[in-house]
């Protein structure tokens, strides 16, 4: 135990049955965050907070935790005076109870008054509680707040957790914190590796945790350290095979979550399987078996690396066991391949009629037909071969009917590419069959071929319109059809690939094609545009757009362009980039303020601006000077807007700063003369219209500018 009042390290370890590997890191991080939050709320000062996770444990080590709270300042309001004292002025039970709660007598209480009356009041302080008394409740609350979708019970108790709990360690320095959490009494005994060291391990203090687990426990508690060992072991094993380990980040994380003591094991399979498409081998080894494929000069070798959870006394038998497992899987894949290529994709088209795409949206054949109609409209603007695009749309979903994709659904599209080539389809048709699914996830590559871009956009347009037509648009965190991902994919393709097409007509066309609607639905097209724009907004604000850091685009900047509802997302992007650069201009703050002022005047005025300004009604040089500059800028602006040179257009608009400033210094817009007032409002309306050709600067607060 640390000296009285001195900080001490606090260790919490929850020992369980094997935890879900994909949930391990989120559970670890959430436990550390929840416990830290609880300590901060309880005003228990502390140092660094370390978190640990293995398949059988979650743990948090809090460095230098205060062993008691600092003295607590109290300001408590008690019962109303009318209730605190009886008619004789004697304290009632309510007053005495409040005084006892504050640890003083009734005479030591003061009073506080407000509009609603007078109350007893106590202002003072009391000693802080010991950390050991607070920690059990803080730990229980932290565990209860973990993101566990479905909790389970075990034994005869009522405790619930993601997996049954078998032991609990709670040490403050060298002292056990008395507690019972999830039905388990806290102690200082942890457990090592299930096979290498099944005996209990007594921890002398919280600081001994990681070293005692590693030796003699054969457990690497730190996830990052264990992951590093997995990666290093895989690379070393691959080097022995004169190759390189193919390490997918998600698979490495999952393997790390499955082992406590990683040991590499190499295995081999027949060279005959290398005749299969490499993605089939990788998917079999990596996604289904959690093995690491091995390559040499980017070509796959007939070998793999698995990470065992123990150092076997007979590694050769472990290797043979893994080889016995993987060989039948590869044999199945080879059988699927031979079976699938025997029947060309074109012969599978009639089968699409029998497969329901989505209740209310028809079959896969209906889906393909809608994609074909939309892709046809996209082909010419994209420079795609119309015939190849139509053929790709016809075959778009046929690989879903193959045995290989039935077993490996993650290979949809890619297998369509291989099967199309095997059947003698054109290269651009085969490429489009794969690229229609791109991007599959955030950061994924985009379709590159024009036919692939056409199919990818058509597919997303149809999916968005179809699900919205069914009334199943995303709500809150629920997005079962992945529409946010689909919309973001559309944004990325159009902006990053430079696809300059009018989005609203495409959205309306996609809506019109939906069987769930009985007729044209232009309002659905507008709703879909807003949904896509919202995903575009998140893309920019999160700093995911190429060349932009988080914070470069603010909500106000985005809104300034969004209110103009640019039909082309590429045009939207060009306006936004120009505006973002313009905000560094010295004139931006003044012009943003002027636009906001003009917008407010026009909104509040009951006068409709005329079509033209009447110079004869000008009463000052400021009006004449502004009008002269407006006409020159309007002439200069027209070709710049036609070329979408919005940055130069804003530079030209910035030259209006001086005449605008002079105008507002010298001119009373809302004067008493109705004709003069109307003429001035017309002049300001024309000024605002010039800026609206790029963006609505009135959406931007002056603080956004330098």
Q: State which H helix or E strand residue 490 sits in.
A: helix 483-496
- Mean pLDDT taken over the chain: 92
Residue 297, pLDDT score = 93
For 558, which DSSP code?
H
The total of other beta-carbon atoms located within 10 Å of residue 289's CB is 18
Q: For 203-298, list the strands marked E by DSSP.
A: 244-245, 263-268, 292-296
Residue 300 has pLDDT above 90, yes or no: yes
Nearest to 430 by CA among 418, 445, 412: 418
Residue 593 makes CB contacts below 8 A (sequence gap 6+) with 702
Q: Which carries the bigger pLDDT value, residue 547 or residue 382?
A: 382
Residue 365 has pLDDT above 90, yes or no: yes
Residue 264 has pLDDT above 80, yes or no: yes
Nearest to 463 by CA among 447, 433, 484: 484
- Write the CA distances from 687 to 418, 634, 641, integer angstroms: 59, 9, 16
Residue 706, pLDDT score = 44
Share of the chain above pLDDT 90, in %: 70
Tokens of 184: 């388990």
| Across 15-29, 185-199, 675-689, least confident range | 675-689
Residue 163, pLDDT score = 96
Cis peptide bond N-terminal to 417, omega within 30? no
Split at pLDDT 50, 70, 90, the class of 669 is: confident
Q: What are phi and psi of 244, to 5 degrees?
A: -130, 140
The total of other beta-carbon atoms located within 10 Å of residue 154's CB is 15
Nearest to 468 by CA among 521, 534, 524: 524
Residue 704 has pLDDT above 70, yes or no: no
Residue 245, pLDDT score = 97
Nearest to 12 by CA among 164, 141, 194, 121: 141
What single string gives the DSSP state of each residue in 504-558?
HHHHHHHHHT-TT-SS--HHHHHHHHHHHHHHHHHHHHTT-STT--TTSS-HHHH
Q: For 291-435, list the strands marked E by DSSP.
A: 292-296, 299-308
Contact 262, 233 (CB under 8 A): yes
Q: What are phi and psi of 26, to 5 degrees?
A: -60, -40
Domains of the chain: 8-68+131-214 (3.30.70), 72-126 (no CATH), 223-333 (no CATH), 362-397+425-553 (no CATH), 576-704 (1.10.730.10)
Split at pLDDT 50, 70, 90, the class of 585 is: confident
Q: What are phi and psi of 309, to 5 degrees?
A: -95, 15
| Across 74-78, 572-576, 617-621, least confident range | 74-78
Taking only the tens place, the pLDDT of each residue in 233-260 is 999 999 999 999 999 999 999 999 999 9
The angle subtended at Cα 550 by Cα 548 and Cα 556, nearest 5°, is 95
Residue 429 to residue 432: CA distance in whole angstroms: 5
Contact 251, 289 (CB under 8 A): no
Q: Which carries the bigger pLDDT value, residue 691 or residue 25?
A: 25
Residue 702, pLDDT score = 61
Residue recorded with tokens 């074109």: 346
- Write the CA distances from 423 to 204, 340, 430, 481, 652, integer angstroms: 69, 11, 10, 32, 58
Taking only the tens place, the pLDDT of each residue in 586-632 is 888 878 888 888 888 887 777 778 888 888 888 889 889 888 888 99
């Amino acid at each position: 135990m640390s000296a009285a009042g001195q900080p001490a390290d606090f260790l919490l370890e929850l020992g369980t049955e094997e935890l879900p590997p994909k949930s391990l890191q989120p559970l670890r991080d959430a436990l550390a965050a929840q416990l830290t939050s609880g300590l901060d709320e309880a005003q228990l000062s502390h140092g660094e907070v370390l978190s640990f996770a293995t398949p059988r444990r979650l743990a948090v080590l809090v460095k230098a935790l205060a062993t008691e709270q600092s003295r607590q300042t109290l300001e408590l309001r008690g019962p109303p005076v009318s209730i605190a004292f009886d008619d004789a002025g004697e304290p009632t039970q309510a007053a005495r109870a409040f005084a006892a709660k504050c640890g003083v007598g009734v005479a030591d209480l003061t009073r506080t008054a407000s509009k609603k009356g007078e109350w007893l009041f106590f202002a003072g302080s009391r000693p802080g509680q010991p950390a050991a008394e607070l920690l059990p409740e803080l730990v229980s609350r932290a565990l209860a707040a973990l993101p566990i979708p479905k909790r389970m019970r075990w034994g005869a108790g009522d405790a619930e957790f993601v997996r049954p709990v078998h032991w609990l360690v709670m040490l403050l320095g060298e002292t056990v914190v008395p507690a019972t959490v999830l039905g388990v009494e806290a102690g200082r005994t942890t457990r090592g590796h299930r096979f290498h060291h099944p005996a209990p391990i007594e921890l002398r203090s919280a600081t001994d945790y990681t070293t005692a687990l590693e030796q003699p426990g054969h457990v690497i508690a730190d996830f990052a350290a264990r992951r590093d060992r997995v990666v290093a072991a895989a690379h070393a094993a691959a080097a022995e095979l004169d190759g390189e380990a193919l390490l997918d980040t998600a698979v490495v994380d999952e393997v790390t979550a499955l082992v406590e003591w990683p040991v590499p094991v190499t295995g081999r399979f027949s060279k005959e399987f290398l005749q299969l498409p490499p993605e089939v081998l990788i998917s079999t080894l990596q996604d289904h078996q959690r093995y690491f494929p091995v390559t040499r000069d980017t070509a796959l070798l007939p070998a793999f690396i698995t990470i065992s959870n123990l150092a076997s006394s007979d590694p050769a038998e472990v290797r043979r066991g893994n080889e016995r497992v993987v060989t039948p899987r590869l044999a199945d894949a080879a059988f699927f391949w031979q079976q699938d290529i025997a029947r060309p994709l074109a012969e599978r088209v009639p089968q699409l009629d029998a497969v329901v795409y989505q209740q209310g949206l028809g079959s896969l054949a209906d889906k393909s037909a809608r994609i074909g109609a939309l892709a046809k409209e996209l082909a010419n603007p994209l420079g795609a071969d119309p015939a190849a695009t139509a053929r790709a749309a016809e075959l778009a979903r046929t690989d879903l009917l193959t045995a290989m994709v039935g077993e490996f659904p993650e290979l949809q599209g890619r297998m369509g590419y291989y099967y199309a080539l095997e059947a003698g389809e054109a290269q651009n048709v085969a490429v489009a069959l794969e690229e229609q699914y791109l991007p599959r996830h955030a950061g994924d590559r985009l379709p590159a071929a024009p036919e692939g871009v056409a199919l990818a956009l058509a597919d997303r347009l149809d999916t968005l319109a179809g699900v919205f037509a069914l009334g199943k648009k995303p709500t809150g965190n629920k997005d079962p059809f992945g529409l946010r991902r689909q919309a973001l994919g559309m944004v990325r393709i159009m902006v990053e690939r430079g696809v300059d097409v009018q989005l609203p007509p495409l959205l309306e066309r996609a809506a019109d094609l939906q069987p769930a609607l009985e007729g044209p639905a232009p309002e659905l097209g507008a709703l879909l545009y807003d949904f896509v724009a919202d995903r575009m907004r998140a893309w920019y604000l999160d700093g995911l757009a190429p060349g932009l850091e988080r914070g470069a685009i603010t909500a106000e900047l985005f809104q300034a362009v969004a209110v103009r509802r640019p039909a082309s997302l590429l045009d939207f992007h060009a306006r936004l980039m120009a505006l973002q650069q313009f905000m560094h201009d010295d004139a931006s703050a003044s012009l943003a303020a002027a636009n906001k002022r003009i917008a407010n005047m026009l909104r509040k005025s009951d006068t409709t601006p005329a079509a033209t300004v009447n110079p004869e009604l000008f009463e000052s040089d400021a009006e004449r000077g502004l009008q002269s500059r407006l006409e020159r800028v309007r002439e200069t602006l027209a070709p710049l807007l036609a070329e979408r040179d919005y940055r130069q257009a804003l530079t030209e608009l910035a030259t209006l700063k001086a005449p605008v400033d002079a105008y507002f210094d010298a001119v009373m817009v809302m004067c008493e003369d109705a004709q003069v007032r109307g003429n001035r409002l017309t002049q300001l309306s024309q000024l605002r219209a010039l800026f609206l050709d790029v963006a609505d600067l009135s959406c931007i607060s002056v603080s956004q500018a330098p």
